[in-house]
Structure 1
Amino acid sequence: MKVVICTIELFLPDVGSLKAKRQIIKSITQRIRSRINASVAETGFQDCWQRAVIGVAMVSSSGTLLDRQVNFIRDIVDDCAEAETVEFLVEYV
């Protein structure tokens, strides 16, 4: 059994309120959930307007499958025009 944990730190330069931030984060997390069988949650900077941390966890018997899904997650996050990726950490357990 293989486990991967992704920690994604985002910068949201055009956001002026927590409501706008949460709409963007919700959109990203829902896209990840709907396309990949993964657990996703906002895990940091919950009270800051322009910063966010998203955590993603996945379990599989195949390491290559997890690698493909991590790359797909990176593509989903990079496709979001409202957010800039500051850091994308991947940890295999």
Structure 2
Amino acid sequence: MPPSVAYLNLELRLPGNNSLKGKRGILKSLLARVRHEFNVSVAEVEAHDNWQRAVLGVACVSASSDYAHGLLQAVANAVEHWRLDCEVVDYDIELLT
């Protein structure tokens, strides 16, 4: 059975932020924590120049599509609860294989 690849598109709002430097500070610690806690690949994929918006891409590979979907759901839930200075606006999980 081929491995399953899953992708999470996570849109965040940073309401109290007023600079790109502030955004980098928030995202740097958030990305490191997601990588450490869930062992997934994560990067900012859109809205690079927007101070109060960030779009993260999170990807994982697993032998089970159910596990991959559950893992990315857990990432979205964790990000929503970890930070008080950012809000999850929307997210979408896509199974690629």
- Which residue is equivalent to 2:19? 17
SS in 1 for 2:84: coil
User: Sequence identity of aligned pairs in percent?
Assistant: 39
Aligned residue pair count: 93
- Which residue is equivalent to 2:95? 92
User: Aligned-pair distance for 1:71?
Assistant: 2.4
Select which of 23, 28, 37 maps to 1:26: 28
1:81 matches 2:60: no
User: Aligned-pair distance for 1:40?
Assistant: 0.5
Select which of 18, 38, 42 maps to 1:40: 42
Q: Which moved more, 1:67-76 or 1:9-18?
A: 67-76
* Structure 1, unpaired ranges of 5+: none
Q: Deviations over 1:1-57 (max 9, x none)?
A: 111000001110000111111111111111110011211100111111000100001
Q: Deviations over 1:46-91 (max 9, x none)?
A: 1110001000010000123213311220122112111111110100
Please give the root-mean-square deviation of Cα atoms over the aligned residues, in Å.
1.0
Runs of 4 or more above 2 Å deviation: none
* Structure 2, unpaired ranges of 5+: none
Contact 1:31 1:76 (8 Å CA) reproduced: no
Contact 2:23 2:51 (8 Å CA) reproduced: yes
